[in-house]
Amino acid sequence: MKNYKTIVLSNQEISPGYYRMQILAPGYDAQARAGQFVMFRVQRSLPPLLRRPFGIFRTGFLAPDCDGMPPKEFIEIVYKVVGLGTEIMQDLHQGDQIELLGPLGRGFDLGAPDEDKILVGGGIGLVPLYMLAEKLDNKARSRLLMGGRTRDDIITVTEFERLGVETYVSTEDGSLGEEGLVTQVLERKLQKYPQATVYACGPMPMLDAVQRICANHKAPLQVSLEALMACGVGACLGCVVKGAGHSEETPRYLCTCKQGPVFNAEELDWRQLDEPQQDCGGCR
Ligand code: FES
């Protein structure tokens, strides 16, 4: 894990309100694991002071220059503009300075190559699943279920398809793919592939539904949680969630940034999802 100043290589809108940013990031291709994240801070702005967490979409190398220097490494993040921090980010251009801390957190366990795998992503929750799909050994036994409210929320679909992963799209308004919830598709796929391991990332209500379906089918589930984070390294306790077995008498909290963001479903107390969520939106 390193904290350093670096630069934006590109920053493009890929769907209304969704942007993909490429960042110069030496060392990341060898170090970063699927499901990990970075903390990102814009250099030139005073507000917002805090860093923001973003899942790593992918890592790679730029085409080599003709100067004999080794090729430069980059990471890509994909983000949705939802508040002050991401509004500032959408105006960044090639060469702008930023500060990057990472790679951080616990990533996905890739499992055995001979297992069926089902990846479930809702909206911006698709981001950490790309690197996971890329790293899976047996893509022919992997399926990706993408869900969103409208077609604008279905991002990077052709890149997933290029990896050779079977891809299914559903939207709540029927504007792309099947009309309905991604969890309905999951129910059908688990009937077809009852031994599958499920990986999911997306909004909490979607993860809650995924967890119930997987529990009914006794399917192993790993979830990547989205949380507001201030430090990203386990120091501020701003990102805690309740762990399995939590009670007032024996509190059990887990830091999303350090013990997650990827958890096995049975590590979490799913009752907390019935409690009101605090999310001001303006912090991101
Ligand atoms: Fe500070 Fe997790 S963000 S402890």
Reported as a single tens digit per residue, the pLDDT across 232-256 is 999 999 999 999 988 888 999 999 9
Average pLDDT of the segment spanning 13-34 = 93
Nearest atom within ligand 1 for CA of residue 234: 4
Rg of the chain (C-alpha set): 19
Show the tokens assigned to 16: 């209304």
Token pair, residue 280, equals 């001001």
**Range list for CATH 3.40.50.80 in the chain:** 117-274
Q: How far is CA 237 from its chain centroid?
A: 20
From the list 195, 109, 199, 196, the residue with the least C-alpha distance to 146 is: 199
Residue 284: band (very low, low, confident or very high) from pLDDT cuts 50, 70, 90? very low
pLDDT at residue number 224 = 96
pTM for the whole structure: 0.92
Give, for ligand 1, the residue of 104, 225, 258, 283 to mutate: max count of ligand atoms closer than 8 Å to Cβ. 258
Distance, CA of 193 to CA of 74 (rounded, Å): 36
Q: Which residue ranges does the chain devote to CATH 2.40.30.10?
A: 2-104
Q: Which percentage of the chain shows pLDDT scores above 70?
A: 91
Between CA 58 and CA 64, with CA 62 as vertex, the angle to 5 degrees is 155
Test site for ligand 1: of 1, 104, 231, 241, most ligand atoms within 8 A of the Cβ: 231
Residue 283 pLDDT level (bands cut at 50, 70, 90): very low
pLDDT, one tens digit per residue, over 86-105 is 888 999 999 999 999 999 99
- Return the ligand 1 atom nearest residue 257 CA: 2
- Amino acid type, 190: L
Q: What average pLDDT is seen over the chain?
A: 89
Alpha helices in the chain, H assignment, sequence order: 28-31, 84-89, 127-135, 157-162, 182-192, 204-217
Nearest atom, ligand 1, residue 240 CA: 2
pLDDT band at 41, cuts 50/70/90? confident
What is the pLDDT at residue 44?
Answer: 57
Best probe residue, ligand 1, of 239, 241, 253, 284 (max atoms within 8 Å of C-beta): 239
CATH code for the structural domain at 117-274: 3.40.50.80
Q: What is the pLDDT of residue 282?
A: 35
Statement: residue 276 has pLDDT above 80? no
| pLDDT tens-place string over residues 103-125 | 999 999 999 888 999 999 999 99
| Positive/negative CA dihedral, 273, 276, 281, 284 | negative
For 192-213, what is each residue's pLDDT tens digit?
A: 999 999 999 999 999 999 999 9
What is the pLDDT at residue 222?
A: 98
3-state helix, strand, coil in the chain (%, to 5): 25, 35, 45
Selected from 2.40.30.10, 1.20.1250.20, 2.60.40.60, 3.40.50.10420, the CATH number assigned to the domain covering 2-104 reads 2.40.30.10
Residue 280 has pLDDT above 80, yes or no: no
What pLDDT is stored for residue 70 in this prediction?
66
